[in-house]
């Protein structure tokens, strides 16, 4: 079997897997969530790298010649080292792809004001990966980032649609818009955040109306588009497989999906159904 592996620290990568499977349901997939050690967002570079490498090796062992890091934090902190340092020795014919570059490639085309905001974990924001990638591809764009340290715990603990989440969503959005009021495009640079999309849009419309009233500029409040990554990662992967038929031919097409977690499989099954709206079969594994 040749599976496409999708890895995340927890449940967030399911938003990426969902986008990919909607576009390419024919392939066989393995999803691995390192839920027992999530969140990764506040962990050091070395720890995120070590944990991500363990997960990648496990997915290789399970029969995945291609692994997608469906996690921005791992893409920011571990992808380059794995691609350049580890792959040539451990599996030169395997590939590991991340989610930051494919997102950066489209974002410059989506903004009219050329002012872009990134919402992500502390680790991703501190790495400056989005700023570097977007400004390299679109030198006319200004990029500012805001860490949202409470958002992953809200999602991992199923609190994302509860009234208590409103405060934390509003607080981070306000901090982002204060840094740059001309932002018209916000990237959800963490795969957990699409679950907060309704709250984000709700709070954003209140905040931008308020800012517009204060500044009394323009004929109407500016529209801010919030961009989840899933669809762009799916398009980018499809394009990658067209450009790499030697990899596409190693992947089997039975339309299956297996789920692995480092936490309890019962806990994963309950929470995953909130992301995927279907019951899933889950196997517990250990990483080391
Ligand atoms: N879902 C991960 C990301 O996209 C991070 C979650 C975490 O902090 O573990 O960055």
Average pLDDT of the segment spanning 162-166: 95
Give Cα 196 distance to the centre of its chain: 13
Nearest residue by C-alpha to atom 8 in ligand 1 = 41
pLDDT digits (tens, 9 = 90+) for 111-126: 999 999 999 999 999 9
Per-residue burial over 45-82, b = 16 or more CB atoms within 10 Å of its CB, e = otherwise? eeebbebbbbbbbbbbebebbbbbbbbbbbbbbbbeeb
pLDDT digits (tens, 9 = 90+) for 201-248: 999 988 876 665 556 555 566 689 999 999 999 999 999 999 999 999
Is residue 260 exposed (0-12), middle (13-18) or buried (19+ Cβ within 10 Å)?
buried
Residue 189 CA: nearest ligand 1 atom is 4
Please pick, among 64, 71, 148, 257, the residue that the annotation labels catalytic: 71
* Alpha carbon of 209 to ligand 1 centroid (Å): 30
Q: What is the mean pLDDT of the chain?
A: 93
Average pLDDT of the segment spanning 42-47: 95
Give the model's confidence band at 67: pLDDT under 50 very low, under 70 low, under 90 confident, else very high.
Answer: very high
pLDDT digits (tens, 9 = 90+) for 174-194: 999 999 999 999 999 999 999
> Do 274 and 252 contact (CB within 8 A), yes or no?
no
**Dist CA 268 CA 264 (whole Å):** 6
Cβ of 156 below 6 Å from ligand 1:
no
pLDDT digits (tens, 9 = 90+) for 87-110: 999 999 999 999 999 999 999 899
* Alpha carbon of 215 to ligand 1 centroid (Å): 35
Identify the pLDDT of residue 223.
Answer: 85
Identify the pLDDT of residue 221.
Answer: 61
Is 148 a catalytic site residue?
A: no
> pTM of the entire structure?
0.93
Please pick, among 64, 141, 190, 257, the residue that the annotation labels catalytic: 190
User: Which residue is listed with tokens 């009233």?
Assistant: 213
Is 71 a catalytic site residue?
A: yes
């Amino acid at each position: 079997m040749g599976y496409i592996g999708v890895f995340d620290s927890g449940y967030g990568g399911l938003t990426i897997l969902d986008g990919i499977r909607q576009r390419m349901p024919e392939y066989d997939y393995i999803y691995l969530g390192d839920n027992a050690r999530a969140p990764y967002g506040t962990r050091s570079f070395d720890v995120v790298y070590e944990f991500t490498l363990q997960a990648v090796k496990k997915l290789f062992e399970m029969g995945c010649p291609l692994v997608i890091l469906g996690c921005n934090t791992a893409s920011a902190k571990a992808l380059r080292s794995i691609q350049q340092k580890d792959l040539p020795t451990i599996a030169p014919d395997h590939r590991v792809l991340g989610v930051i570059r494919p997102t950066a490639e489209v974002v410059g085309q989506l903004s009219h004001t050329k002012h872009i905001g990134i919402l992500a974990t502390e680790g991703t924001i501190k790495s400056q990966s989005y700023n570097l990638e977007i400004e390299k591809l679109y030198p006319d764009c200004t990029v500012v980032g805001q860490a949202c340290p409470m958002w992953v715990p809200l999602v991992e603990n199923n609190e994302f649609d509860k009234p208590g989440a409103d405060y934390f969503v509003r607080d981070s959005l306000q901090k982002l818009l204060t840094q740059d009021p001309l932002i018209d495009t916000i990237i959800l640079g963490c795969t957990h955040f699409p679950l907060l999309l309704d709250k984000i849009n709700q709070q954003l419309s209140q905040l931008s109306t308020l800012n517009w009233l204060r500044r009394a500029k323009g004929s109407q409040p500016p529209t801010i588009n919030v961009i989840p990554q899933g669809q762009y990662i799916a398009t980018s992967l499809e394009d990658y497989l067209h450009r790499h038929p030697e990899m596409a031919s190693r992947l089997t097409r039975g339309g299956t999906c297996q789920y692995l977690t480092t936490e309890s499989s019962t806990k994963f099954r309950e929470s995953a159904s909130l992301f995927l709206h279907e019951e899933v079969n889950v196997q517990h594994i250990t990483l080391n």
